[in-house]
């Protein structure tokens, strides 16, 4: 098998546009480094500078005999881009991962990230299906590898799992870097192939110890955790840890391994994944449509990270007291503390007697006001759970049922307040409409 570093280098190269097919890969790298227009256009972006520095560190002698056989670019439509590199013995498909909006050359949009959020739905995404189709229609006459970073790695894994049997027999291996896993429905459909020992031997999955994107969905195989070259204390650092340049530590052509994922990606995983998993399908469809609006707004990638975390947090009520400007610099220690509070709420919910909760629903369940809860209302209600938990911890001798009854009364009072406020809002709105009609 080719060395790990080769797949890492080719995954990085997949993010640069073609400088010609049939050329040696070493010459492709030289042409990229000699292209001064790239620095002029993108040199102000930190991730571009770090990727370029990583490209300069590649040992060109490794790629004097490898050539660029094909470059597939459907960026303007599906967002799918990949290279086919070739040696005398094998082919290597390197799939490009998700790209940021390009407001300079307008060569990319947000097709990738629109497709990414559809991974939370049940069916395969368009990029997954389209990439598999491209693979099936490519003339493949020698053994081959699949590799890629981020969504590119996901496409490599998806194609390996779902490709025709004749291609399976030619497949030598799949190497992914910080790639999200396979959704549960697809995983269950192909479980027999996933559990096949021969297929398992072909999988090589690498994840940055500080990366959260690669934690999503189902892993087909236990990943290798790579030591990060970046800290991870803020949203900005979380973004950098997803990139290839944050996992470039090699010793003797192998990655420096970490023992496990750090606390930060685990917290972010539960924060985001629990939110999507618990949404009903109809509401999830609406949220995905809302994400499309964000992607079409022209935001930069780092801005998008903050916007998504901020607005998702509004649904989960974890950050209701923090404005958007503060979310830019919020530390993950704060996130961890808020997650602990969330876990307390989940535990205390299990303590509520079902008949009391049913009574609360019967009182207000059919009122339109319930559908108009805002962050303040949610805080009022959940504060009762928190307060109740503290009482249980501090006054263990007091009767448990009395505490629960008191707490449920607080919840009912909050709901009645919501109902009364909603009725007042409706009354005021009707009065405004009557005034307009009389005018």
What is the rounded CA–CA span in Å between residue 60 and residue 350?
Answer: 60
pLDDT above 90 (res 43) = yes
Task: Tell me the H-state helices in 99-204.
Answer: 111-117, 126-136, 151-162, 165-170, 184-189, 191-194, 197-201
Let me know whether 363 and 251 are in one domain: no
CATH number of the domain where residue 185 is located: 3.40.50
Final residue before a domain boundary, out of 267, 290, 309: 267
* 239 vs 329: which has the higher pLDDT: 239
Quick one: 57 and 180 in the same domain? yes
Supply the mean pLDDT for the chain. Answer: 79
Closest CA to 13 of 1, 3, 27, 22: 27
Asked, for residue 276, whether it belongs to a domain, the answer is: no
pLDDT in the model for residue 397? 45
Single out the residue in 267, 297, 323 at which a domain terminates. 267
233 plus 135 within the same structural domain: yes
Q: Which domain holds residue 394?
A: 352-439
Q: Are residues 262 and 382 in the same domain?
A: no
Number of domains in the chain: 2
Tens-place pLDDT, residues 80-102: 999 999 999 999 999 999 998 88
Q: Let me know the angle formed at the C-alpha of 90 by 84 and 92, rounded to the nearest 5 degrees.
A: 30
In terms of domains, do 10 and 143 share one?
yes
Residue 274 inside a domain? The answer is no
Phi, psi of 93 (to 5 degrees): -85, 120
Please report the beta strands in 231-291, taking only residues with DSSP state E, as ranges in sequence order. Answer: 250-251, 254-255
Same domain, 46 and 156: yes
pLDDT tens sequence across 139-176:
999 999 999 999 999 999 999 999 999 999 999 999 99
Q: Does any domain span residue 310?
A: no
Assess if residue 317 is contained within a domain. Answer: no
Residue 341 inside a domain? The answer is no
pLDDT digits (tens, 9 = 90+) for 185-221: 999 999 999 999 999 999 999 999 999 999 888 999 9
Average pLDDT over residues 240-268: 84
- Report if residue 281 sits inside a domain: no
Does residue 390 sit within a domain?
A: yes
**Spatial distance between the Cα atoms of 175 and 246, rounded to a whole number of angstroms:** 17
Does pLDDT of 362 surpass 60? Answer: no
Pair 245, 368 in one domain? no
The verdict on 247 and 378 lying in the same domain is no
125 and 238 co-located in one domain = yes
Q: Measure the CA–CA gap between 150 and 177, rounded to whole angstroms.
A: 6
Same domain, 259 and 376: no
| 305: in domain | no
Cα separation of 76 and 281, whole Å?
29
Residues 210 and 115 occupy one common structural domain: yes
Question: Which residue, 267, 296, 331, sits at the end of a domain?
Answer: 267
Contact 153, 178 (CB under 8 A): yes
């Amino acid at each position: 098998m080719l060395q790990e570093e080769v797949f890492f280098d080719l995954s990085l190269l997949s993010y640069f546009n073609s400088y010609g097919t049939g050329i040696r890969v070493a010459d492709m790298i030289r042409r990229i480094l000699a292209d001064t227009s790239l620095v002029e256009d993108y040199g102000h972006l930190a991730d571009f500078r770090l990727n370029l520095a990583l490209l300069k560190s590649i040992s060109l002698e490794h790629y004097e005999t490898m050539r660029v056989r094909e470059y597939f670019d459907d960026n303007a439509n599906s967002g799918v881009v990949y290279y086919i590199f070739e040696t005398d013995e094998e082919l290597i498909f390197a799939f490009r991962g998700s790209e940021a909006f390009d407001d300079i050359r307008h060569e990319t949009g947000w097709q990738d990230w629109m497709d990414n959020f559809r991974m939370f739905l049940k069916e395969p995404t368009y990029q997954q299906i389209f990439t598999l189709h491209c693979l099936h229609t490519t003339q493949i006459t020698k053994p081959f590898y699949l590799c890629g970073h981020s969504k590119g790695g996901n496409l490599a894994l998806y194609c390996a799992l779902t490709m025709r049997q004749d291609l399976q027999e030619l497949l030598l291996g799949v190497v992914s870097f910080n790639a999200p896993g396979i959704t549960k429905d697809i995983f269950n459909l192909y479980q027999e192939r996933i559990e096949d020992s021969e297929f398992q031997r072909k999988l090589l999955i690498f994840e940055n110890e500080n990366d959260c994107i690669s934690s999503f969905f189902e892993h087909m195989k236990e990943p290798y955790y790579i030591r990060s070259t970046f800290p991870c204390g803020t949203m900005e650092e979380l973004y950098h840890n997803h990139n290839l340049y944050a996992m470039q530590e090699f010793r003797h052509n192998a990655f420096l391994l970490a023992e496990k994922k750090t606390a930060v990606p685990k917290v972010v995983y539960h924060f985001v994944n629990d939110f999507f998993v618990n949404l009903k399908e109809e509401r999830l469809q609406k949220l995905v449509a809302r994400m499309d609006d964000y992607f079409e707004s022209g935001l930069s990638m780092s801005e998008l990270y903050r916007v998504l975390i901020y607005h998702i947090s509004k649904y989960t009520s974890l950050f209701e007291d923090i404005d958007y400007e503060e979310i830019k610099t919020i530390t993950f220690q704060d996130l961890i503390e808020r997650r602990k509070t969330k876990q307390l709420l989940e535990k205390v919910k299990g303590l509520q007697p079902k008949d009391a909760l049913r009574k609360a629903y019967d009182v207000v369940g059919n009122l339109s006001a319930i559908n108009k809860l805002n962050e303040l209302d949610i805080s009022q209600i959940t504060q009762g759970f928190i307060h109740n938990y503290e009482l249980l911890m501090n006054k263990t001798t007091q009767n448990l049922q009395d505490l629960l009854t008191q707490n449920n009364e607080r919840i009912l009072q909050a709901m009645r307040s919501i109902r009364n406020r909603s009725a007042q809002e409706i009354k005021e709105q009707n009065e405004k409409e009557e005034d307009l009609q009389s005018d």
